[in-house]
Amino acid sequence: MSELLERVDALQNVISKLVHRYQKLQRQNEVLTTENEQLKHEQEDLKILLENWEAKYSTLKTANAMLGSNEYKRETKLKINTMMRELDACIAQLAD
């Protein structure tokens, strides 16, 4: 009978350790999930910031080309031509 009690005690001990480990892993999972969400928000904010800086850079390149820089003149002319074609298409649609 004492052998049976020892086995039961051993099983209770193992179960207790497993429950403790499970709870610890659950807490770690919650911490990591929270950290993951924070990093996703930070990544999204940085993505928006990058898009804003890219737009500003593009605007500065265009302004630089208009001020006489030969480096971006061709690119600016192509953009202006594209805008003119789009404007002509809009006018044509309005005329119909």
How confident is the model over 28-67, as pLDDT tens digits? 999 999 999 999 999 999 999 999 999 999 888 877 777 7
pLDDT at 69: 63
Judged on CB neighbours under 10 Å (0-12, 13-18, 19+), 61 is middle
Question: Could you tell me if 71 and 64 are in contact, meaning their C-beta atoms sit under 8 angstroms apart?
Answer: yes
pLDDT at 71: 66
pTM over 0.75: no
Answer positive or negative: Cα dihedral of 15, 17, 19, 22. Answer: negative
Average pLDDT over residues 63-87: 78
pLDDT at 85: 94
Distance in angstroms (rounded) separating the CA atoms of residues 86 and 84:
5
Q: What share of the chain is helix, strand, coil (3-state, %, to 5)?
A: 90, 0, 10
- Which pLDDT band holds residue 12 (cuts at 50, 70, 90)? very high
